[in-house]
């Protein structure tokens, strides 16, 4: 199996995080579709996260979890967050499915000069594809106590029972 270089992996991450190259004049274009009714509650939970904890957003496929994450990015930047402090990674891309979460975080933080004291947002979409994802999220949350760590997972549809 062929492995991707760190430069290639960072290029992929840059593709998923176009806001890293924003300037003050850049127009944010991923505000639509309209925010879900539960976006304010989700935003509040994310803003309260940190202190070594990870937040998990779970729901069925095509429920809008990725849309919520993208709208979260837009809201954070609109409210003044440094675009280079927001990390999003879809773990469905072939280049990221084999990478360890800690390695992805290391690439991001090293490239942008972030240390453990930095106020960061880590968003991992479809994180259930990573082996031991729960432990990996907690390790990142503990290593970066000021960071807000969010993992989005697709859950199976609930089983129907009759009775």
Domain assignments of the chain as residue spans, ordered by start: 6-20+38-154
The secondary structure of 20-68, three-state, reads: HHCCCCCCCCCCCCCCCCCHHHHHHHHHHCCCCCEEEEEECCCCCHHHH
pLDDT for the residue 128: 92
CA distances (Å), origin 85, targets 108, 118, 132:
9, 8, 25
pLDDT for the residue 157: 44
**Per the structure block, which two tokens stand in for 117?**
């004291």
Query: pLDDT tens string for the chain (163 positions)?
Result: 457 788 877 787 777 888 888 776 666 666 567 788 889 999 999 999 989 899 999 998 888 899 999 999 999 998 999 999 999 999 988 778 778 999 999 999 999 999 988 999 999 999 998 889 999 999 999 999 999 999 999 986 444 444 4
Q: How far apart are CA 25 and CA 15, in angstroms?
A: 20
> Positive or negative CA dihedral for 111, 132, 137, 51?
negative
**Model pTM above 0.75:** yes
Closest CA to 105 of 125, 83, 120: 120
Q: Which CATH class is domain 6-20+38-154?
A: alpha beta
Closest CA to 146 of 119, 127, 128, 110: 119
CA torsion, ordered 36, 137, 154, 66, to nearest 10 deg = 40
pLDDT for the residue 118: 94
Alpha helix segments (H runs only) across 80-158: 94-97, 101-112, 133-143
DSSP letter (8 states) at residue 119: -
């Amino acid at each position: 199996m062929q492995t991707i270089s760190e430069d290639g992996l960072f290029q992929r991450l840059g593709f998923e995080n176009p806001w890293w190259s924003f300037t003050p004049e850049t127009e944010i274009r991923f505000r639509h579709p309209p925010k879900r009714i539960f976006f304010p509650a989700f935003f509040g939970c994310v803003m309260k996260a940190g202190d070594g904890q990870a937040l998990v957003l779970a729901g069925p496929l095509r429920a809008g979890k990725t849309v919520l994450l993208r709208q979260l990015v837009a809201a954070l930047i609109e409210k003044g967050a440094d675009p280079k402090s927001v990390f999003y990674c879809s773990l469905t891309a072939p280049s990221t499915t084999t990478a360890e979460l800690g390695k992805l975080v290391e690439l991001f933080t090293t490239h942008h000069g972030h240390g453990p004291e930095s106020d960061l947002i880590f968003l991992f979409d479809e994180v259930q594809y990573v082996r031991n994802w729960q432990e990996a999220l907690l390790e990142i949350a503990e290593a970066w106590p000021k960071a807000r760590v969010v993992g989005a997972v697709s859950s199976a549809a609930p089983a129907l029972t009759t009775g």
